[in-house]
Structure 1
Amino acid sequence: MSLQQAIEQKLANAFASYHLTVENESHKHNVPPNSETHFKVTLVAPEFEGQGKVKRHQSIYRILAEEMAGGVHALALHVYSPKEWQASGQAAPESPNCMGGSKNDPAFTPGGSR
């Protein structure tokens, strides 16, 4: 099972989701081909009604603790209650383009300090 599939399965089992997408966005970043390090999660669930963003994110991080301790480097979370999802036009924002990380920073020296 891929890391993406594991994330999807865990979230599907944990929430009564109206909508769930897990996108592997690793190809947009400075990582080897076929990596599973950067993900975007869009999750719509009634459990989020009345919860703030921090509580929502904490609940997801608890469920994905093993994945976060392993190979996941970045996890973009877009979590909504069903009412919020309707109001959003049923679309999560696009992820920004990768800026190349520190390797494109002229002040960066590997193993050193700035």
Structure 2
Amino acid sequence: MPAAARVAAIRERLEAVFRPHALEIVDDSHRHAGHAGARDGRGHFDVHIVSAAFAGMAPLARHRAVYAALGELMTTDIHALRIEALTPAEAS
């Protein structure tokens, strides 16, 4: 899947599940050229997401929720994912 399509797929899934107030996805794959995970074509991404859905959730639970929302993309298209998941109150 081309890089732009991967970002679009990530965005679509996160928006559907979390209805975020803010969502930024950065494809950082170019910085990992030659890395073992880059050799199989999967990408490296940074996600900054702000959603009321994270209220009352510990950081680990937020990350697990993001992984669950991304589903099979975590094994087919994403090698590494850096997540910053905040509530609207935390982001302001």
Bin of the TM-score, shorter chain as denominator length: 0.7 to 0.9
Asked if residue 63 in structure 1 is aligned to residue 69 in structure 2, the reply is yes
Unaligned runs of 5+ in 2: none
Unaligned runs of 5+ in 1: 87-114
- Measured in 1, the distance between the counterparts of 2:42 and 2:72 equals 14
Task: Kindly state the Cα deviation for residue 29 of structure 1 after the two structures are TM-superposed.
Answer: 1.2
Task: Kindly state the Cα deviation for residue 4 of structure 1 after the two structures are TM-superposed.
Answer: 1.0
Q: Deviations over 1:51-108 (max 9, x none)?
A: 100111111111112111112110000000011111xxxxxxxxxxxxxxxxxxxxxx
Identity %, equivalent residues: 30
Q: Deviations over 1:31-58 (max 9, x none)?
A: 47xx651000000000111110011111
TM-score (norm 2): 0.83
Tell me how many residue pairs correspond in the alignment.
Answer: 84
State the match for 2:31 in structure 1.
28
Structure (1/2) with the larger strand percentage: 2
Q: CA RMSD in A?
A: 1.6
After superposing on structure 2, the runs of 4+ consecutive aligned residues of structure 1 that deviate more than 3 Å are none
- Measured in 2, the distance between the counterparts of 1:56 and 1:7 equals 16
Q: If you compute each CA radius of gyration, which structure gives the higher value, 1 or 2?
A: 1
